[in-house]
Each structure stands twice: as C-alpha cells, then as structure tokens.
C-alpha cells in the first residue's frame, strides 16, 4: 500500500508539472502575441501611423482640389482682364473707386 501511495503522489506531481509547463507555454505565447500586436499597432509603420498618414493624405488632396479650383478662377479672371474691357471697368469702379470724367460718385456712410 505504501508503494501505491508513493506512485499516486508521483503521478500527481508529474501532472502538476505538466500543467505548469502548459501554463508557462500559454503565458509565453500570450506574451509574444501581445508584443507582436503592440509592434503592429504602435510601430513606425503601425496602424496608428497608417491612419495618421491616410488622414494627412486626404487633407492634402482636399487642399489640392481647393487650390486647383482657385487657380481656375484666377485664370478665368486673368483672361477676362486681358480681353474684356467691361470687366476691367467693373474692377476699376468697384475695387479702385474710379469714375468716368462726367460721372459723380456718391459715397454712402453708414452710422
């Protein structure tokens, strides 16, 4: 009987060692998985950086579109200034407050 008690104890000790080794492997695997995930998320080419760069790229595309629209308007204005005398007169009157010789200009002052 004493032999059987020792073998049961040895068997339970072996089972405990096996479960400890399994837990250590599981913890090591989990730690490696966490480290890899952290590198992918926060690394120099990680998810946060990719999101930040894609947002910057979108902002720059929007800015380029706005600048191209403004450029088209300015080119249109330039061609009008070069070819349309009525447009030149309009700008001279509105922006530079010019008048023809026989005209009188009245300025309305708001209180």
Between 40 and 59, name the one with better pLDDT: 59
76-103 pLDDT tens trace:
999 999 999 998 888 888 888 788 788 8
Q: What is the pLDDT of residue 16?
A: 87
Average pLDDT rounded to a whole number, residues 50-69: 95
Q: What is the C-alpha to C-alpha distance for residues 93 and 91, in angstroms, rounded to an integer?
A: 5
* Residue 6 pLDDT class (50, 70, 90 cuts): low
Q: Which residue has the tokens 């090591």?
A: 28
Per-residue pLDDT tens digits for 26-57:
999 999 999 888 887 777 777 888 888 999 99
* DSSP letters spanning 45-80: TSHHHHHHHHHHHHHHHHHHHHHHHHHHHHHHHHHH
Q: What is the pLDDT of residue 30?
A: 94
- Greatest Cα-to-Cα distance within the chain, rounded to the nearest angstrom: 133
């Amino acid at each position: 009987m004493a032999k059987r008690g020792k073998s049961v104890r040895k068997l339970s000790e072996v089972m405990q060692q096996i479960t400890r080794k399994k837990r250590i492997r599981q913890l090591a695997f989990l730690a490696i998985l966490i480290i890899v995930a952290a590198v992918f998320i926060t690394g120099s080419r990680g998810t946060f950086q990719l999101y930040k760069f894609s947002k910057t790229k979108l902002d720059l595309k929007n800015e380029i579109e706005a600048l191209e629209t403004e450029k088209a308007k300015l080119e249109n204005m330039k061609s009008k200034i070069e070819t349309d005398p009525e447009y030149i007169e309009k700008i001279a009157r509105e922006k530079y407050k010019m008048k023809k010789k026989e005209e009188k200009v009245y300025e309305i002052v708001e209180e």
